Structure 1
Amino acid sequence: MSDEAGEERRWRVPHGHVVLKAAATAAFALVALLSRDDRPFLLLTVVATVGLAALALRDVLAPVRLAADAEGVTVVAGYAARRRVPWPAVVAIRVDERRRLLLHTRLLEIETAGDLYLLSAYDLGEEVEDAAAELERLRTRADL
């Protein structure tokens, strides 16, 4: 972080996740090549390869999923577009936590009048509670 007036915080996809998705893409592509005689299995592996490649490409094109400074937040919207939201337009910052069967999910929610942005710990590279606290700190500092 820089000085208080120009303080900016960025949250990005961890480099290891990008590497893991790229490696999984390569592995599925290899399996697809090796199974080209089995049409149904080939179709399944090609779909998986394309899906993983799309996820890995998004991580390369938009590694910073969230940034915040004294003026507001910048979030990734859609596949890899960025949207700037000034603090006055942010209605709420909260953590949504859900437990179902063996799954436990936590998402950072940034709500505006017309949109809801959802980010996971995988998007942020840290726990969503920590990111929410930091966003509230920056938002409060901006109000001063």
Structure 2
Amino acid sequence: MPRQIVALKAAGAAVCAVLAVLGDHRQLFLAGVAALGFGALVVRDLVAPVRLSAGDDGLVVTGLAGRERISWNDVDRIRVDTHRRYGMTTEMLEIDAGEQIHLFSRFDLGESVVGVAETLLRMRP
């Protein structure tokens, strides 16, 4: 995770917290919720900076709730989902593992989503 993104999220949490303190009751609620959301993202980025790792035996997905190992046999599909909206293109790495779907953005991976997908497809037995 790039440090600039984590710093930007922390700044967003700080700005929303200040707005919550200075605002009226409606602003308190909305800015407080936004500050908590940004804060949760910062904590996630600091606790689990590496969200996805791969090896010969499968994948390891890491998040706030802990680590989960996924065997290559359990991975049904690896693909890049691309959406174009408002003049912007968003790419997400989608890993379908049975009843679970794991989604990763470029910011989660720290690299190009397409590059990671190609690497995972080459590693997959």
| Structure 1 position 92, deviation (Å) | 1.3
CA contact (8 A) 2:48 2:62 kept: yes
Match of 1:65 among 25, 36, 51: 51
The C-alpha deviation readout for 1:61-87, integer Å capped at 9, x for no partner, is 21111001111111136x442210111
Match of 1:120 among 93, 102, 105: 105
Number of aligned positions between the proteins: 125
> 2:116 aligned with 1:131, yes or no?
yes
Identity %, equivalent residues = 43
The C-alpha deviation readout for 1:87-110, integer Å capped at 9, x for no partner, is 121111111112234342211011
3-state SS of 2:111 partner: coil
Q: 1:33-48, aligned counterparts within 5 Å?
A: 33-35=21-23, 38-48=24-34
**TM-score calculated relative to the size of structure 2:** 0.89
Corresponding letter in the other structure for 1:73: L
Corresponding letter in the other structure for 1:21: K
> 2:6 aligned with 1:18, yes or no?
yes
| Structure 1 position 50, deviation (Å) | 1.0
> 2:19 aligned with 1:31, yes or no?
yes
Corresponding letter in the other structure for 1:17: I
Q: 1:88-99, aligned counterparts within 5 Å?
A: 88-99=73-84
Larger radius of gyration between Structure 1 and Structure 2: 1
Task: Indicate the residue corresponding to 2:92 in structure 1.
Answer: 107
In structure 2, list runs of 5 or more residues that go unmatched: none
CA contact (8 A) 2:51 2:62 kept: yes
CA contact (8 A) 1:93 1:110 kept: yes
CA distance in structure 2 between the aligned counterparts of 1:107 and 1:22, rounded to whole angstroms? 23
Q: Report which stretch shifted further, 93-102 or 44-53.
A: 93-102
Corresponding letter in the other structure for 1:49: A
Task: Report the RMSD for the aligned CA atoms in angstroms.
Answer: 1.6
CA distance in structure 1 between the aligned counterparts of 2:18 and 2:85, rounded to whole angstroms? 35
3-state SS of 2:76 partner: strand
